Structure 1
Amino acid sequence: MASQQSALIPPRPTAAQRTPGTQPSRLRRRAADATVWYLRVIAVLNIVAVMSLPFRQEVYEHNNGRITLHLHRQHAHHSGQFFTPYLATAGLISAALAIFFVLVMRRRKRAAWVVNLALSAPLFVLYVLALTQHEYRAHAFNWLSAALTGLFVAALLISRREFHAVGDPSNPKLALAVGVGGLVVTGGLGTLLVHATNTIPGATLADELGYTLLRGVSVGPLADRVSTVHAPRWTDIIINILLAAAFCLVLYALFRSPRGRRLLGPEDEERLHALLDKHGARDSLGYFALRRDKAAIFSPTGKAAVTYRVVGGVSLASGDPIGDPEAWPGAIDAWLTEARQHAWTPAVMGASEEAGTIYARHGLDALELGDEAIVDIADFTLEGRAMRVVRQAHNRVRRAGYTVRIRRHEDIPADEMALLIDRADHWRDGATERGFSMALGRLGDPSDGRCVMLECRDADDVPRALLSFVPWGEHGLSLDLMRRDRACENGLMEFMVVELLLRAAELDIHRVSLNFAMFRSVFERGSRLGAGPVLRLWHATLTFFSRWWQIESLYRANAKYRPIWEPRYLLFARSSDIPRIGLASARAEGFLTLPGKN
């Protein structure tokens, strides 16, 4: 589809357009692709070597009462006369490193190119020097290893200019701490396991520790040089898996996404507040740009900004750009330029139709995610048959003695706010704080004084639920937080929302944005008479998954207020990026959390 061609990725020239001067560029691209494919093959071979270890035939020879192990077809290898190509160590650590290099080399990271060259070039030189010795020169496999390593180095050198993307933010201190801790824990467990399963008596602690560390690198002949240790093959595999897992944690700690970490500096936050004061009424999600785990990039004029966070190599923006719409293109250009420099995948969650049109002019395609429910206060009423269910629920809860107090955050005393924050944390469903595109991620911050708090108390004056809304310009509110005591009366949230809508004039509020209903149109049309088979299948699929993710219930909960539905869109550069963007979105919103995630 022509519209899916991203502005960030220029189309390759056709055969008629190529000139002799373009051939080096083509050669560089192929050389870069060759390095990636080499690393893929090496990763697979390393994994296969580890997984096939239990099935290899073993032969034991007794020599002066000491057992020497020889693997089938590898006797010469054990004698130290064979060496293997770059990163081929028959170990899961090397496989994990190769997979990591595949991911970053595909994104053309300059740092990955430098590291690979720094590792492979000296190794190639060492192989060339080793081949001057007769004992190594006599084996054809050594020549093959040197040739493959040399070709890899040559491909790196040829493709040097293809790797131009700058590195991602990292946390070397955390990675070092995780690495030291992981090595101590996994190395200690592995050494204990080796000590318990070693069949040769008299091994020292240093021998067992050395064997463990060598087995962490490779299940091949590397550790067989420790003649005082012979452990079962299942021990070798467990040790290799343990140390590989520790290595993966180090990589994750080094490049993990900064959920919960402050990215928005005080100066940027002040500039965004100024833009929202002038243009905040345009987008109901605008105030959520002030989440401090987002970064902001401004247009050259400073009159607009795009807020985003990088998750798994995806530069994930949310809502519309902040500020003057005439300056939006400048902010979008700056954001896309940064994404290109870092080889990040650009994506936007929850953009309005107006912003989606501007993004589309910059090469992004749009996919409708769902609809935002907006209630116009002037049109809201509890009268009529259509509102009977809401009216009855409201009257039932009010008769039970529940009351609602509505205040701006700045009007709530500090001790009362501390109590509400404590209750909100206690009522939270699960340990993970969710939200990114449509949640502020904090409660009671002094900078959020214009937010509105609804506090619901029962007949005994005990707090039972709360709602928090962020400002939407001067005369609007956007839902941020919903928390309630699970043991309280059913319909409490509906009661609070209706109270806000009926009393909105007290705060000079003209419109209120409620929850976002994903795939609303599918639920609305999928069960109607005449719906096609594709739509019915899609409706049935979403209904099934709604058992766990409340997709349909959110739509039903919003529809009862008879709102205006405003569509929201996902913007992306290429269709092939959608699964990756979906995963990044799930992580950003808190629906998918990884170990150690803040």
Structure 2
Amino acid sequence: MTETATASRAQRFRARIPVVLVWYCRIVALASMLSALSPRTNERIDQLPDYILFSLGFLLGVPSIGFGVLMLMLGAAVRRRKRIAWWLLMVLGLFVGPLGWLAISALLYDVTASDLRPLAPLIVAFVVQAVFIGLVIWARKEFYAVFDAANFRLALVVLAVSFALSTVLGVTLVAWNDATATTDLGDQALYTLKAGMAGTGIWWYDTAVEVPHWVDVTVNLIGSVMILAVAWALFQPRRGTYRHLAEDDDRLRTLLDKFGDQDSLGYFNLRRDKAVVWSPSGKAAIAYRPVGGVSLASGDPIGDVEAWPGAIEAWLAEARQHAWVPAVMGASEEGGKVLTRFGLDAVELGDEAVVEVEEFTLEGRAMRGVRQAYNRVERAGYRTRIRRHAEIPADEMAALVRRADDWRDGSVERGFSMALGRLGDPADGQCVMVECLDGEGALRALLSFVPWGTKGLSLDLMRRERGTENGLVEFMVIDLIKAGPEHKVERISLNFAMFRSIFERAGRIGAGPFLRLARVVLSVFSRWWQLESLYRANMKYRPVWEPRYLCFPKARDLARIAIAAGRAEGFLAIPTPRVFRRRRELEPLRKD
């Protein structure tokens, strides 16, 4: 029992070592950048013996903004338990410090006993370095995030390009401000290399170059940008080159046939840009996409609720292996409760509007506006046609797809958590198409719904021709509700309204200043993202509001998750050169 307790304490201590190393990297980064900005750094360095200089460099960094930036990047990689970070810590521990100084000196110079005086600081530095290396070696198993070989190739390309650019800029700046007439281009290039890569005054060679301190700082900043670019490429999160496999699709459809009634977002997990991880029993699965270092899932796990924990554990384990931040968008209340048992936190993201077909009515004062809009569109001669996708001939479906693309707002297909991302695929034959035709039989709008189990539908696509009659969408939705019993549809999930509770509560009597301020802020963002308009559009149908949650590990990860979600949903687009886009299109859909 005592041995077990001791082993447990040792494991807990080992698990905390990366946290200590993160703070070590941050402290060294701060000391390095502050010393690089000090104009008297060179004077202080000249007064120190070489071995003490290297010892201080190991403990407190070097006077270089670039080195400070690198240490910050290294600290971030250590926090995410990247294997490459462990290797860099080992390089730092072995070659930066008195051990590295002795190795270099033994190779290049004759080291005598007088070079090691005073001896006490050297002994202390050796002990600190040995403890550091020992802790890093002991904590090796804590660095489990695999390294992507593509990152190394990308880092080499970035290094070559950025080194060439920074050298040209740095040498030009040094040559322009050099006050010594006897120096040549070689001296200026060496000085640029010294100032840009490691900070001034710490290398064993010297030059006659004389430039103002602001030139040193500027050249070091240029070198810092280069180091930052290379470190960014090296520490990029593993991209996850695998996609939705055909066998995954078949197994997911089998689960949806049995458990599809549980979640209105279940069918959207058939998107082909989502990878799938399975529970050990194969009775549950989670579909996700790696985006910017985030393993982004949506909705609840698919399958038997009792098998959800196995799928969640497998998903979290894969996220840890690749140093991804796990996050779930749009989890239901039940799904959120299960996810929180595995260390994730949950915050309400908004509400999903669900219309119960049997309970819906156009009667009553509350539905007066919707009723009038419906009657107005009907009098204008519009009508709807409702069919399953499998009932639509191929040529008609192709024409519908073309019209939908023509009516799309912008060139990017938006949607991830509540959009299928395709239209007219033969595999989606049970989806429902609602077409709106004018009095002459011309198509003016369309809606597409995916199956929600066997008795429900979930809105996937909404497109209409610009300049058409207001109220077309309401007309189509109401006709679908009326036709629900004919198509054996009992409930329909409409658009998702983010922050619905804020808009609703802020409009009530007695709403506090914080709620009103939050509504004002959200109304500003609604100009781009339709936050309030979606809420009001859904409210017309008097739906049942089902809360949806965002699940995440730490509050510090929310910014990264928000950016990843914006990219996945199509609201944030990162420009990509055409050659890389073409490469991604040709990339085989396989697992590593």
**Which bin holds the TM-score, normalised by the shorter protein?**
0.7 to 0.9
1:164 aligns with 2:141: yes
1:142: Cα distance to partner? 12
Equivalent residue of 1:120, what SS? helix
Equivalent residue of 2:243, what SS? coil
Match of 2:132 among 155, 160, 167: 155
Match of 2:534 among 554, 566, 577: 554
Equivalent in the alignment of 1:129: 103
- The CA deviation string for residues 366-406 of structure 1, in whole angstroms up to 9 with x for no partner, is 43332211112223333333222223333444555555444
Match of 1:563 among 516, 520, 543: 543
CA distance in 2, matches of 1:424, 1:386: 33
CA distance in 1, matches of 2:325, 2:5: 30
1:374 aligns with 2:354: yes
In the superposition, relative to structure 1, how do residues 406 and 165 fare at CA in structure 2: closer, same or farther (>3 Å)?
farther
The within-5 A match list for 1:23-422 is 24-25=10-11, 28=14, 31-49=17-35, 52=37, 56=39, 73-74=44-45, 82-83=53-54, 85-86=57-58, 88-124=61-97, 125-130=99-104, 151=128, 154-158=131-135, 160-165=137-142, 167-168=144-145, 171-173=148-150, 176-177=153-154, 179-180=156-157, 183-184=160-161, 187-188=164-165, 190-191=167-168, 194-195=171-172, 198-199=175-176, 216-221=196-201, 232-233=215-216, 236-237=219-220, 239-251=222-234, 254-255=236-237, 257=239, 262-311=242-291, 313-339=293-319, 345-400=325-380, 402=382, 404-414=384-394, 416-422=396-402
The answer to whether the 8 A contact 1:107-1:165 is kept is no
In the superposition, relative to structure 1, how do residues 228 and 578 fare at CA in structure 2: closer, same or farther (>3 Å)?
closer
- The CA deviation string for residues 296-319 of structure 1, in whole angstroms up to 9 with x for no partner, is 222222111122334455444321
Q: Which amino acid aligns with 1:157?
A: G
The answer to whether the 8 A contact 2:116-2:122 is kept is no
CA distance in 2, matches of 1:110, 1:399: 68
CA distance in 2, matches of 1:313, 1:335: 14
Equivalent residue of 2:287, what SS? strand
Q: Which amino acid aligns with 1:255?
A: P
In the superposition, relative to structure 1, how do residues 418 and 130 fare at CA in structure 2: closer, same or farther (>3 Å)?
same
1:512: Cα distance to partner? 1.2
Equivalent residue of 2:483, what SS? helix
In the superposition, relative to structure 1, how do residues 165 and 130 fare at CA in structure 2: closer, same or farther (>3 Å)?
closer
1:437 aligns with 2:417: yes
1:567: Cα distance to partner? 1.9
Structure 2: gaps of 5 or more residues: 582-592
1:576: Cα distance to partner? 6.0
Q: Which amino acid aligns with 2:57?
A: P
CA distance in 2, matches of 1:111, 1:455: 54
The within-5 A match list for 1:490-505 is 490-505=470-485
The answer to whether the 8 A contact 1:39-1:98 is kept is yes
In the superposition, relative to structure 1, how do residues 198 and 122 fare at CA in structure 2: closer, same or farther (>3 Å)?
closer
Q: Which amino acid aligns with 2:24?
A: Y
Equivalent in the alignment of 1:8: none
What TM-score does the superposition give when structure 2 sets the normalisation length? 0.79
Q: How many residues align?
A: 565
In the superposition, relative to structure 1, how do residues 218 and 118 fare at CA in structure 2: closer, same or farther (>3 Å)?
closer
- Greater alpha carbon shift after TM alignment, 290-299 vs 426-435: 426-435
Q: Which amino acid aligns with 1:173?
A: A
1:500: Cα distance to partner? 2.8
In the superposition, relative to structure 1, how do residues 80 and 108 fare at CA in structure 2: closer, same or farther (>3 Å)?
closer
Equivalent residue of 2:420, what SS? coil
1:508 aligns with 2:488: yes
The answer to whether the 8 A contact 2:295-2:326 is kept is yes
CA distance in 2, matches of 1:375, 1:364: 30
In the superposition, relative to structure 1, how do residues 323 and 123 fare at CA in structure 2: closer, same or farther (>3 Å)?
same
Equivalent residue of 1:85, what SS? helix
In the superposition, relative to structure 1, how do residues 153 and 477 fare at CA in structure 2: closer, same or farther (>3 Å)?
farther
1:286: Cα distance to partner? 0.4
- The CA deviation string for residues 553-592 of structure 1, in whole angstroms up to 9 with x for no partner, is 2111101011121222233455665555445444443444
Q: Which amino acid aligns with 1:164?
A: K
CA distance in 2, matches of 1:159, 1:249: 23
In the superposition, relative to structure 1, how do residues 164 and 178 fare at CA in structure 2: closer, same or farther (>3 Å)?
closer
Q: Which amino acid aligns with 1:126?
A: G
- The CA deviation string for residues 515-555 of structure 1, in whole angstroms up to 9 with x for no partner, is 11223233223322244565555545544544443322211
Q: Which amino acid aligns with 2:335?
A: A
Equivalent residue of 1:164, what SS? helix
CA distance in 1, matches of 2:253, 2:262: 14
- Greater alpha carbon shift after TM alignment, 221-230 vs 174-183: 221-230
| Structural RMSD (CA) | 4.4
CA distance in 2, matches of 1:206, 1:270: 66
Equivalent in the alignment of 1:62: none
CA distance in 2, matches of 1:284, 1:467: 17
1:100: Cα distance to partner? 2.5
In the superposition, relative to structure 1, how do residues 159 and 210 fare at CA in structure 2: closer, same or farther (>3 Å)?
closer
